[in-house]
């Protein structure tokens, strides 16, 4: 095994590639559940993922899901003694941006206005004056930056 003069052992990550993964590529229900767990936890072992999964499959099945996610370049991992610790290969912010972009394209014909209108129509959305002021400010800033 190679030795590196690193301060932190987690600096050596496996499955780091130059190509960027696309979260909008088709993921199975279980793959989405595992990605959500990794985003929430930041990192997890197979056993920790199993603990958080509803109606968890076998240990081998969870390992297979994580292997597939690593092949899709959505997950990376590091060795921690005899076990692997898995981490999302993309940030939660990037994942949210890609997912929302896909929803807007698919269900709202690319219209941000239609998507925002649909969000505001939802019965469980109640915006206070502070939130409305924050949205106005963000809209103003987006316009000023040419978006």
Tens of pLDDT along 60-108?
A: 999 999 999 999 999 999 999 999 999 999 888 888 888 889 889 999 9
The pLDDT confidence band at residue 20, using thresholds 50, 70 and 90, is low
Where exactly are the structural domains of the chain? 12-92
By the 8 A CB rule, do 36 and 96 touch?
no
Say which CATH architecture domain 12-92 belongs to: Orthogonal Bundle (1.10)
- 15 phi-psi bin (left φ>0, alpha ψ -120 to 50, beta other): left
By the 8 A CB rule, do 48 and 41 touch?
yes
By the 8 A CB rule, do 78 and 9 touch?
yes
> The whole model's pTM is what?
0.65
Mean of per-residue pLDDT scores for the chain: 83
- Predicted local confidence at residue 6, as pLDDT: 39
By the 8 A CB rule, do 42 and 26 touch?
no
């Amino acid at each position: 095994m190679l030795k590196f003069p690193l301060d932190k052992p987690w600096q050596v990550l496996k499955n780091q590639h130059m190509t960027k993964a696309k979260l909008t590529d088709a993921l199975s229900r279980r793959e989405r559940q595992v990605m959500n767990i990794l985003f929430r936890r930041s990192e997890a072992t197979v056993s920790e993922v199993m603990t958080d999964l509803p109606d968890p499959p076998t240990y081998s099945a969870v390992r297979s899901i994580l292997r597939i996610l690593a092949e899709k370049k959505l997950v990376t991992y590091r060795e921690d003694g005899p076990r692997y610790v898995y981490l999302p290969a993309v940030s939660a912010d990037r994942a949210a941006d890609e997912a929302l972009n896909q929803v807007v394209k698919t269900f709202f014909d690319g219209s941000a206005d239609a998507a925002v209108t649909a969000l505001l129509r939802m019965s469980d959305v109640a915006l206070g004056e502070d939130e409305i002021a924050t949205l106005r400010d963000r809209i103003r800033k987006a316009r000023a930056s040419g978006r």
